Structures are given as C-alpha cells and as structure tokens.
Chains A and B, each alone.
Chain A
C-alpha cells in the first residue's frame, strides 16, 4: 500500500514505551478555499485516525481542517505483548486506509 507508512520498532522489552510513527498521503482539503471558478472547494479531510494493538484501541483522534496535507502522526504506547499494531485513517468520504506492523515483545 503506497499511500500510508507505519513504523513500529521490530522488537521491544516488555514494559518499554515505544514510539509509533505514521504518514498518510491525503490532500486534507480544508473546505475553506475557493477554486479558480470562485466556488468553495468542498472539505475533504481525514476526520478520524485510530490505532489498535492486538485488536484493542490504544489511540484515537478526531482531526480538524487545520491538520496539514499528508499528515505525520506519532504517539507512544507501552509494549505489552508480541503482536500487531494497526492504524486506520477514515476520511470525509468514509474511505478507510489501514496499515499494520508487527512487534516482538520479549
């Protein structure tokens, strides 16, 4: 999937705080700009991003039009067990992009 990137440390010690980093390709049209024809360009942003760790939600955010195009997101989470971290981005059209990464916890 070329439109999003996710980076999670491959390995961590149980109890460590790890950093999850992500990027997604999205124009994040604010809805406040006007096109060349003078008409407003409809809002088209990622309105929600959420992360699960082995299926349990560990992070979620509602985004507003002030978030930049192709937004970068990073957050911290405690490494508890081996498994999968998955991010999901949902935009105004209801289109969902997801990206997941594996982590081994010792």
Chain B
C-alpha cells in the first residue's frame, strides 16, 4: 500500500515534471528558431586554426592575389567604348561597397535574377562594348573577388520578396531536392549535418559569404557556382552550367540563408 502511494506520488511528480518540461520544450523550440537567424555560422567557424590564420592576415591570404588582379583591371580601358570600370564608377571602395552584399538581384530588363559575375559581364558587353569574361577566367574571378572585397565585413542582405519571390522559391526547392545517385539534397549535408564529419571533412552550413573563396584544394580562387557544381558532383548528380538560371536561383536562396553574415571575400577554405 505504501509502495502504491509512493508510486502514485512518483507518477504525479513525473507528470508534474513532464508538464514543466513540456513548457520548457515550447520555450526551447521558440529559442531555437529565434537563434537560427542569429546563430548562422560562416564556414570560417568550421575551418581549422591554420586555415583561419591564412585568412586572417591579408598578406598570407592567397586570395588577395586575385583582389590585386581585379584592382589592376578596374582602371584598364577595354572594348570599343574605350572605357574602364573606373571611368564610370570611380573609386571602387565607394561605388562597389553595396554591390557585394545584395546580389543575386531581380532585374527588370531580363525578367529574372542576375548575380554579381553576370552584372560585371553586363557592364563589359553593354557599357564597355567589350567581350564578356569567361566564367572561372582569372579576369572574371579577379574582378568578382575585387568587387566583393569592397563589402568585406558588411552583412549579406538580399531581396527575396516582390519580383524575386518566385525565383527564390525555385532556389529553395533546389536546396531541398534530393538528387544524384546518392539521392541527397544540399540540406542533408549542410542543414541536418552541419558540424558533423563526412570522411575527412567537417560539414559546414554551406554558406557563400566568403565567395569567391581561395580553396587550398583548388590551389586558387573559385566561384560560388564552381562550388555548387562540386557539391552536385559529390552526390553523383549532373551539375548545371556556371551562370545557369538554376544556380543563380539557388545562389539567392543560399545567400538568404546566410543573411546577416559578414562578407569575407576572399575567404580561405580547405
């Protein structure tokens, strides 16, 4: 009898605790959601001390060799209009400061999104009457790295509403869509398993605030779309083309996931 009372008491106590835990859970869930917006982590925070060290000092960060390339090209007149970027935009530190945080952007004239590489090439073809630079060429990488470097430290802030909304939705769907022989979506690695190891690598959130990044494995700077292609290939899925609508839409969604993160271009990653 005594035992039974004790058990009842215990049950009560347990139920009591559960109720409280339930409340606690409600709170915890609320906190997790709130923390998600603030608790977004750059790939930098997952990198080794050595890799972080390379990025920390502009003189040891090899990505700056590409920033220099971009800086040289900035004042070089090319094309039939005989103009350089500098002739129209002046000091990049001023004129390009905002550009690095706000792309991809919806553009009325093309009726879809445009990313920063494409914006630069539009200036080449339309404003300079020069040839577009090839994707992953040292010129386009150099200029993109230089332009984005002007925004270093500023929070990523892209527009995903209004006319950008349908493209954003496509990017989000891409991110969550299983694909390839391994049948995996971006989210399976970069959302569900961020912080866990995959072979020798620690998975990060797959943020793009540091792009173009200097990758030790590549031995050079590479674009966001090169990284997307690599991640598609890893799961044995057919990669899309650099500059494809699919990747530009995906880029907008991924940029938005990292909203508020400071631009790190050129980041160093392994």
**Complex contact A27–B54 (CB within 8 A):** no
Contact (Cβ within 8 A) B59 A7: yes
Once the chains are docked, how many angstroms separate the CA of A23 from the CA of B54? 11
One of A58-66, A69-77, A84-92 contacting the partner: A69-77
Q: Which of B65, B72, B142, B220 contacts A5 (CB 8 A)?
A: B65
Q: Say yes or no: B219 contacts A27, CB within 8 Å.
A: yes
A24 vs B59: C-alpha distance when bound (angstroms): 10
Q: CB distance A2 to B65 under 8 Å?
A: yes
Mask, B39-79, CB within 8 Å of A = 1, is 00000000000000010010111101100110110000000
Residues of B within 8 A of A (CB): 54, 57, 59-62, 64-65, 68-69, 71-72, 142, 214, 216, 219-220
Question: Residues of B contacting A69 with CB < 8 Å?
Answer: 62, 219-220
Partner of B72, one of A2, A4, A28, A70: A2
The residues of B that contact A21 with a CB separation of less than 8 Å are 57, 59-60
Q: Does A25 contact B (CB under 8 A)?
A: yes
In whole angstroms, what is the CA distance A88 to B155 when docked? 39
Q: Is the CB of B216 within 8 A of A23?
A: no
Q: Are B219 and A23 neighbours in the complex by a CB distance under 8 Å?
A: no
Cα(A28)–Cα(B218), bound, Å: 12
CB pair B54–A2 under 8 Å, yes or no, is no
In the assembled complex, 10 residue pairs joining A and B whose CB atoms fall closer than 8 Å, in A order, are A3-B65, A5-B59, A5-B68, A21-B60, A23-B64, A25-B62, A68-B216, A69-B220, A70-B219, A74-B60
0 or 1 for each of A11-29: is its CB under 8 Å from B? (1 = yes): 0000000000111110110
CA distance A4 to B64 in the complex (A): 10
A23 x B220 contact (CB < 8 A): no
A7 to B64, CA, bound (A): 13
CB neighbours of B59 from chain A (8 A): 5, 7, 21-23, 72, 74
Query: A21-B60, A69-B62, A72-B54 provided; 9 other pairs, C-beta below 8 A?
Result: A5-B59, A23-B60, A23-B61, A25-B65, A27-B219, A68-B219, A69-B220, A70-B65, A72-B59
> How many angstroms between the C-alpha atoms of A21 and B54 in the bound complex?
12
Q: Give A39 Cβ to nearest chain B Cβ, in Å.
A: 20
Q: In the complex the two chains form, is A70's CB within 8 Å of B62's CB?
A: yes
- The reply to whether B216 and A5 contact each other, CB–CB distance below 8 Å, is no
CB distance from B21 to the nearest CB of A (A): 52
Across-interface contacts of B57 in A (CB, < 8 A): 21
- CB-defined contacts of A25 to chain B, threshold 8 Å: 62, 65
Residue numbers in A under 8 Å from B72 (CB-CB): 2
Question: Is A23 touching B69 in the complex (CB atoms < 8 A)?
Answer: no
Question: With a CB–CB cut-off of 8 A, which chain A residues contact B60?
Answer: 21, 23, 72, 74
Nearest-CB distance from B166 to chain A (Å)?
A: 40
Give A23 Cβ to nearest chain B Cβ, in Å.
6
Residues of B within 8 Å of A7, CB to CB, are 59
**Nearest B residue to A73 by beta-carbon distance?**
B60
Whole-angstrom CA separation of A68 from B51 in the bound complex: 13
Closest 3 CB pairs of A and B: A69-B219, A70-B62, A21-B59
Complexed CA–CA distance, A38 and B68 (Å): 35
Contact yes or no, A72 B62, CB < 8 A: yes
A69 to B142, CA, bound (A): 17
Task: Give CA–CA (A17, B60) in the complex, Å.
Answer: 19
